Amino acid sequence: MTEAARHDSADSGAPVEGAPAHHIRSYVRREGRITSAQEEALEQLWPRYGIDPAGTVLDLPTIFGRRAPLAVEIGFGSGDHLLSSAQARPDTDFIGIEVHRPGAGRVLQQADKLGLTNLRVLCTDAVEVLRQSLPAASVDEVVIFFPDPWPKKRHQKRRLVQPAFVELLARVLRPGGRLRMATDWADYARHMLEVMATASQFSNVAGEGGAIPRPADRPLTRFEARGLRLGHEVADFEFVRK
């Protein structure tokens, strides 16, 4: 679940200059219970599926052993959408970013069972990955489904979708690349639209202030199911990098 300085400085693979050294984190590490199988997967399968960026720019062709379109999912949770997408689209490479180890361990388990070769995982802060690790204009799709809504007003500065974060997304997305988001919190949906309305690098597929129908490839997550039980309306958005 899970700041660029100026977009015009992002024409190379180098980290964005002028970005603040520290940022307000959009997450708290609430690990919950990690199973022995998930722990074992993290230990044994990390060399195959895990990426440790260490503040360097990733060499994507070397990591995946090919050049292919790249999709990045931020805050993949239990990984259902990430895994199903990687399985359904073998010609696309996928990077999942998740700070919570149980979810990462589950994805490694399932990726191994499915024999996926087009999936890699980072268990770290997505902001740092966007700022330092991904080359400019290297990503074809970014997915952010049901990020922590931080509903209390005093906590809303922790929301992931902020103008500085969108600048980082603009840096790594190629022209024509897609940003897909979903939330079941009406206030966060309004916030997302307000932030994206100020992002001159993006256009809304549904038109200004609009939402798209629920995508057929987005599985029902437990967060979405809980929101629906509580009477929340789910909003899906898609934006194109100009």
Axis crossing angle, helix 101-114 with helix 80-88, rounded to the nearest 10: 30
Residue linked to tokens 């500065």: 157
* Bridge-based pairing state of the strands 139-145 and 202-204: unpaired
Tell me how far apart the alpha carbons of residues 206 and 193 are, in angstroms, rounded to a whole number.
11
In the structure encoding, which two tokens stand for residue 159, read together? 């929301």
3-state secondary structure of 177: strand
In the structure encoding, which two tokens stand for residue 46, read together? 């990390």
User: Dihedral through CA 128, CA 31, CA 179, CA 120, nearest 10?
Assistant: 70
Whether 148 is a known active-site residue: answer: yes
Q: Which of 148, 184, 217, 236 is catalytic?
A: 148
Catalogue the active-site residues.
148
